[in-house]
Amino acid sequence: MDEVAALPGGAPLAELADKVENAQPQAVRDIANRWKQAAGKCGDQTNVLQQSVSQLDGAWEGKSADGFVAYMANLTKSGTSMTDALNGAAADLEAAANALETAKSSMSRICETLLSRARQVRQQLHGQPQEDIDSIIRGYCAEAVGDAQPVISQAENALNAAAGTLKGRPGALAPKFSSIEDPNTQTFTPAPGKPVEWTASPPPDDSTKSSSSDATPTPTPTEDRGHGGGGGGGGGGSASGGGGGGGGGSVGGMGPSGGPPSGSPPPGNVEEWIREAIKILQANGIPVTEDNIDEIWKIIEKESSGNPHAINLWDSNAQKGTPSKGLMQCIDSTFNAHKLPGHDDIWNPVDNIIAGVRYTFSRYGGFEGHPGLKAMSQGGGYQGY
């Protein structure tokens, strides 16, 4: 900015440019990315916790079991609020970085234009009185200041807004981990003279579940992909209907598709996966729209807590060696019967949604007949499908 400041009348513009010249928007974005990574890890661990609690909730009954589930729900809610806060804070920083980058680029352009005009007028008026040349350049500088002031004002407003929002995020956390009561004071914690009620739930009755042949013939199961052994807990629902055996040899009791893949789930979130699945389903004649997002999301929430790698290892289907898998908790035979060509990975969230929705339509005629959604609409609890 020294060259701009040296121009006649250039000092005010140089002062404005100095405000953003040393800004480092990429460094701000790097911090935002680290916060997003932290949010992702927090969300992943919250999902793991929620899945484990859902599994326990399905396996145990009694006041103590219910109290424990309710207590743990506060932990998962705190994890969710922390995830949301980190993602929100990252968005605040990204907004600040964008404002800095835009202002820095605009100021650079304004200054370069001014310097070019000053050089041009000096060449054109070479030999003329210096006072005349300086007067023209002062006019150019005044014009440049007029262009620069809104740029800097807009950047300052954006930065102040981002800073204000960011500052308020810690206080807006609700619930907070620090607000959770001591577990040793809870009614579900064993203590002398304090009875606890933990009763094993009876296994679900799968006798009413139809086999996959109710809708379409089950194709030959896909070849085992050799995924690693199953992890903990698939969601809180039953084993997603579709019945029957695995349709082929199981892999360590995991069914023909094997256990959950190692590593993190694919990028994206549940709503994005649902929207993508809806487009594919519509293209294949299934009457779903974005109005059904909430219904699909509710099934996913109850079945797998939104974890594409969820696997149910405790119910009767699991005992048969055909555990329910993925977002919508399909067993292998149901998935194979209702998948679409090119969407044959039960652990892929979009593929799993496609099969789960097609099964819902083939067996129940649509979401209005889904037993879980139907029960909840009548004030009851969710029931697996």
**pLDDT, tens only, 342-362:** 999 999 999 999 999 999 999
Phi and psi of 199, rounded to 5°? -120, 130
| Residue 332, pLDDT score | 96
Q: Residue 80 is part of a domain; what is its CATH number? A: 1.20.1260.20
Contact between residue 372 and residue 385 where contact means Cβ atoms under 8 Å apart: yes
Which of 123, 156, 176 is a domain's end point?
A: 176
Are residues 70 and 143 both part of a single domain? yes
Are residues 74 and 145 both part of a single domain? yes
| Residue 231, pLDDT score | 34
Q: Is residue 286 part of a domain?
A: yes
Give yes or no for residue 240 having a pLDDT over 60.
no
Q: State the Cα–Cα distance between residues 88 and 35, nearest whole angstrom.
A: 9
DSSP character at residue 61:
E
Give yes or no for residue 251 having a pLDDT over 90.
no
Helix (H) or strand (E) holding 200, with range, is: strand 199-200
Give yes or no for residue 157 having a pLDDT over 90.
yes
Tens digits of per-residue pLDDT, 48-74?
Answer: 888 888 888 888 888 888 999 999 999
Mean pLDDT, residues 101-117? 96
pLDDT over 70 percentage in the chain: 87
Mean pLDDT, residues 315-325? 88
Are residues 170 and 300 both part of a single domain? no
| Residue 227, pLDDT score | 30
Q: Is residue 147 part of a domain?
A: yes
Are residues 249 and 132 both part of a single domain? no
Are residues 171 and 29 both part of a single domain? yes
In 3D space, the residue among 317, 311, 339 whose CA is nearest the CA of residue 220 turns out to be 339
Question: CA 277, 283, 285, 291: dihedral to nearest 10 degrees?
Answer: 50
Contact between residue 84 and residue 263 where contact means Cβ atoms under 8 Å apart: no
Give yes or no for residue 207 having a pLDDT over 80.
no
Q: Is residue 24 part of a domain?
A: yes
Domain count, the chain: 2
Are residues 88 and 13 both part of a single domain? yes
Tens digits of per-residue pLDDT, 169-189?
Answer: 999 898 899 999 999 889 888
Are residues 236 and 104 both part of a single domain? no
Contact between residue 201 and residue 60 where contact means Cβ atoms under 8 Å apart: yes
Q: State the Cα–Cα distance between residues 359 and 356, nearest whole angstrom.
A: 5
Give the range of the structural domain holding residue 69, as residue numbers without chain letter: 2-176
**Region of poorest pLDDT, from 44-48, 182-186, 204-208, 246-250:** 246-250
Q: Is residue 295 part of a domain?
A: yes
Are residues 148 and 281 both part of a single domain? no
| Residue 143, pLDDT score | 97
Mean pLDDT, residues 261-290? 90
Please state, as a whole number, how many other Cβ atoms lie within 10 Å of the Cβ of residue 109.
12
Q: Please name the residues in contact with 297: beta carbons below 8 A apart, sequence gap of 6 or more.
A: 270, 271, 274
Q: Is residue 184 part of a domain?
A: no
